[in-house]
């Protein structure tokens, strides 16, 4: 298994490597990829950025699991040579509170779809420009969704998503809330009280969870709304 690279001051190789502590204001990322050239590329890409630091690099998720307190965002490849699945890797990281951005060649459409359904913040191609990749890192580091054509295609390509059976009013509330409106704005536009909006959102989450499509966060609700055609796919 390739053990990858990292900048100066790295610890001896043995899975993930951590460099010296970074200032709190910087976005601390970890990169999981089993190809050394890709690790080198991302390290070079962020090396000159004052607000981003690559603090760990590994060929699998496992070495990072006990070190996620030092990491703001995990940049994860879809296919790894350890035989793990993307769904399992994302679940392990989410269980420990990590944010995840998929960084991939996007040639495995099934795995891309699984990553999207597992709740990643975005799916970015390795072939994208440096500017696009850096902006995706910064957005995901802030906990924001990173809408890309790959992410939209993954949502659109799944014909077997079970319907949550939302009522017309629930559809209206979801469209407004998932698009970014605050509860008070949704209430005004939908002719409801803020308490009723909160109850509608609770019901919507429950209905999606009941059909195996959990929506724990507002980003998750946005994804479900895109999947169901309630909101347009990101361009």
- Domain termination site, one of 124, 156, 188: 156
CA angle 91, 97, 99 (to 5 degrees): 80
CA distances to 15, 23, 33, 51, 223 from 105, rounded to whole Å, are 23, 32, 12, 26, 22
For the ranges 4-8, 97-101, 162-166, the lowest mean pLDDT is seen at 4-8
* 192 and 137 within one domain: no
**Mean pLDDT estimate for the chain:** 83
Domain, as residue range, for 49: 27-156
Of 156, 184, 219, at which residue does a domain stop? 156
CA atoms within 13 A on the CB side of 41: 17
One domain, residues 180 and 211: yes
Between the alpha carbon of residue 64 and those of residues 54, 119, 151, 163, the distances in Å are 13, 19, 25, 36
Question: Is residue 113 domain-shared with residue 187, that is, in the same domain?
Answer: no
User: How many distinct structural domains can be found in the chain?
Assistant: 2
pLDDT in tens, 147-186: 776 666 666 555 567 788 899 999 999 999 999 999 999 9
* Assessment of whether the complete model's pTM goes beyond 0.85: no
Residue 208: CATH number of its domain: 1.10.10
Residue 78 half-sphere exposure toward CB, CA atoms < 13 A? 23
In a domain, 37, yes or no: yes
41 within some domain: yes
231's CB contacts (< 8 A; 6+ apart) are 175, 178, 179, 222, 225
Whether residue 123 is found in the same domain as residue 194 = no
Antiparallel, parallel or unpaired: β 123-125 and 73-76: unpaired
Same domain, yes or no, for 108 and 65? yes
One-character DSSP codes across 20-53: S---TTSEEEEEE-S-HHHHHHHHHHHHT-TTEE
In a domain, 16, yes or no: no
């Amino acid at each position: 298994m390739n053990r990858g690279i990292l900048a100066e001051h790295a610890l001896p190789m043995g899975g993930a490597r951590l460099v010296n502590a970074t200032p709190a204001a910087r976005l601390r990322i970890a990169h999981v990829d089993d190809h050394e050239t890709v690790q080198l590329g991302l390290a070079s890409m962020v090396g000159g950025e004052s607000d981003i630091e690559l603090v760990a690099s590994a060929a699998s998720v496992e070495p990072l699991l006990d070190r996620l307190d030092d990491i703001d965002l995990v940049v994860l490849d879809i296919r790894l040579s350890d035989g793990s699945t993307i769904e399992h890797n994302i679940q392990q990281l989410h269980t420990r509170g990590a944010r995840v951005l998929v960084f991939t060649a996007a040639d495995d459409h099934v795995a891309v779809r699984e990553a999207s359904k597992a709740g990643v913040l975005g799916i970015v191609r390795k072939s994208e420009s440096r500017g696009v990749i850096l902006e995706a890192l910064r957005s995901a580091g802030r906990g924001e969704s990173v809408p890309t054509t790959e992410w939209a295609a993954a949502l659109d390509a799944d014909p077997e998503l079970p319907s949550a059976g939302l009522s017309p009013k629930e559809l209206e509330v979801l469209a407004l809330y998932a698009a970014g409106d605050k509860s008070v704005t949704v209430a005004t536009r939908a002719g409801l009280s803020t308490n009723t909006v909160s109850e509608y959102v609770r019901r919507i989450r429950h209905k999606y969870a009941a059909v195996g499509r959990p929506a724990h966060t507002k980003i998750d609700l946005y994804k479900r709304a895109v999947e169901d055609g309630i909101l347009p796919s990101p361009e």
